Structure 1
Amino acid sequence: MNKAIAQTIGSTFPFWENLDYEAKKKLLTNVKKISFSPSQFVCLEGDICHHLPLIISGNVRVYKIGESGREITLYHLEKGDSCIMTASCIISKKVFPAFAIAETEVEALIIPANSLKKWVTHNTIWQEYIFGLLSQRLANVIEIIEEVAFRRMDSRIASYLLHNVNSKTKTVEITHEAIAQELGSSREVVSRILKTFERQKLLSLSRGKIELYNWEKLENIAQLGKY
């Protein structure tokens, strides 16, 4: 077996330890290493999924685009993750229903679709892994639906900033457009709310960076949707 790839999988994906020798051998025989550059599409809406990616490093954003052109992030894939949408498309023979783009340099191991279908059919470890992905991502998507449907945008923005702030510098390096894409809103709405926060001295705005001042007040907004 390829020791380097085996070590990479073993240190990144917990299911590896539960596979028997033959299953590990099949995985190493079929897997291939691939890389993506920042802003490179991993998958486009409508694509046929020929491989399942196992993310070794980097960050992939999976998102939808509405008829108005607005984007909303469904989830991110990072080290140790795999894409349940891709797995679902492979198993159900459907096309990919979203977009996936590398936000950083990304390295991944890809498993051929035919191999994955065989393993999921005959190996309980692979079944548990895929169902685990499904459970995790379903919870994420339900949370997004609840936020979009029931939570005020100012509350969502405050929560997003607190979740992504650098605790040392107390800043979030991001544009208003990027926040809008993450939350499924428009840049104008995000900018208006951020400027309101700035007038209330909760934060300060500069190009590509937001510095947080009043964390307690932002936490109240995030939790209660009030300010």
Structure 2
Amino acid sequence: MLQPHELRLASEILPFLRDPTTPIARDFIAQASLVRLPAGATIFAEGDECSAFAVLADGQVRVFKIGETGREITLYRFGRGESCILTTSCVLSQRNFPAIATVERDATAFIIDQATFRDWIDRYSPWRDYVFQLLSYRLATVMAIVDEIAFRRVDVRLAEFLLKHAQGDPPTISATHQQIATELGTSREVVSRILADFNDNGLIRSSRGQIIVRDSEGLRRYRGAAL
């Protein structure tokens, strides 16, 4: 059973819980629990049974796949007020989890068991609306990833990645070639080759675990010319 301060936290991310006298709020208080998830923890491994549904109160979770060759591809991340659509699908269909979900930043989450989750879908329209809106939004995200990987050149996507993630003065990205490859859904060798080209063209300066953007406008022009 949730404590008053935990219900206040829940109502910040799920507005339909703000009136504690409503049936959904009363059930949420009685049946949800708040748990802590440390960074690095695996929430689900591929093939696990989805025994519960989680709504993040804070932190961040990454959902990804690993291919037969060992290459990883990030499907999506979710954070405060969000949940995992693959978990939703698995709970509704009673299938096993088809990917891996790990905690990237220390998180807390409201947990609801799968039987309760399905019961609330049937009985409470605010809960049903929340779940379906979540599915719609995240499906669009996944489709955008599929479109990028299938139809857009890796060098263009890499230029965009550098522009998006560079911070500071000079603009710097602290990431290995393998980490970048994982984010882009390609191989480390491909990333290393393209970064070497960018380096030769004076767009970046690359060292172990760090990339400095030397010419942001050049990256933007490169990206635009390659589209």
Structure 2 CA distance for partners of 1:133 and 1:20, relative to 1, 3 Å: farther
Q: CA contact under 8 A between 2:202 and 2:214: conserved in structure 1?
A: yes
1:133-156 deviations in whole A, cap 9, x for unaligned? 111111111111111111000111
Worse-superposed segment, 17-26 or 52-61: 17-26
Structure 2 CA distance for partners of 1:127 and 1:220, relative to 1, 3 Å: farther
In 1: Cα distance, 2:20 partner to 2:154 partner: 45
Matches within 5 A, 1:10-89: 10-17=11-18, 21-89=22-90
Alignment-derived partner of residue 115 in structure 2: 114
Worse-superposed segment, 209-218 or 85-94: 209-218
Deviation at residue 207 of structure 1 after TM alignment:
2.5
Q: CA contact under 8 A between 1:18 and 1:125: conserved in structure 2?
A: no
Q: CA contact under 8 A between 2:59 and 2:79: conserved in structure 1?
A: yes
In 2: Cα distance, 1:15 partner to 1:188 partner: 48
In 1: Cα distance, 2:133 partner to 2:170 partner: 36
Q: CA contact under 8 A between 2:170 and 2:213: conserved in structure 1?
A: no
In 1: Cα distance, 2:8 partner to 2:184 partner: 37
Q: Secondary structure at the match of 1:131?
A: helix
Alignment-derived partner of residue 96 in structure 2: 95
Worse-superposed segment, 89-98 or 51-60: 51-60
Deviation at residue 187 of structure 1 after TM alignment:
0.9
Q: Secondary structure at the match of 2:83?
A: coil
Equivalent AA in structure 2 for residue 140 of structure 1: T
Equivalent AA in structure 2 for residue 10 of structure 1: S
In 2: Cα distance, 1:133 partner to 1:156 partner: 26
Alignment-derived partner of residue 194 in structure 1: 195
In 2: Cα distance, 1:95 partner to 1:194 partner: 38
Q: CA contact under 8 A between 2:17 and 2:24: conserved in structure 1?
A: no
Deviation at residue 217 of structure 1 after TM alignment:
2.2
Q: CA contact under 8 A between 1:151 and 1:225: conserved in structure 2?
A: no
Equivalent AA in structure 1 for residue 99 of structure 2: A
In 1: Cα distance, 2:108 partner to 2:132 partner: 24
Alignment-derived partner of residue 209 in structure 2: 208
Deviation at residue 167 of structure 1 after TM alignment:
5.2
Q: CA contact under 8 A between 2:19 and 2:25: conserved in structure 1?
A: no
Structure 2 CA distance for partners of 1:224 and 1:33, relative to 1, 3 Å: farther
In 2: Cα distance, 1:129 partner to 1:74 partner: 21
Q: Which runs of 5+ in 2 are unaligned?
A: none
Q: Which runs of 5+ in 1 are unaligned?
A: none
Q: Secondary structure at the match of 1:103?
A: strand
| RMSD over aligned Cα atoms | 1.9
Q: CA contact under 8 A between 2:48 and 2:96: conserved in structure 1?
A: yes
In 2: Cα distance, 1:135 partner to 1:84 partner: 9
Alignment-derived partner of residue 177 in structure 1: 178
Q: CA contact under 8 A between 1:51 and 1:112: conserved in structure 2?
A: yes
- How many residues are treated as equivalent by the alignment? 226
1:104-154 deviations in whole A, cap 9, x for unaligned? 212211111111100011111111111111111111111111111110001
Q: CA contact under 8 A between 1:59 and 1:104: conserved in structure 2?
A: yes
Structure 2 CA distance for partners of 1:121 and 1:43, relative to 1, 3 Å: same
Alignment-derived partner of residue 7 in structure 1: 8
Deviation at residue 89 of structure 1 after TM alignment:
0.6
Deviation at residue 164 of structure 1 after TM alignment:
2.1
In 1: Cα distance, 2:24 partner to 2:197 partner: 56
Matches within 5 A, 1:129-168: 129-166=130-167
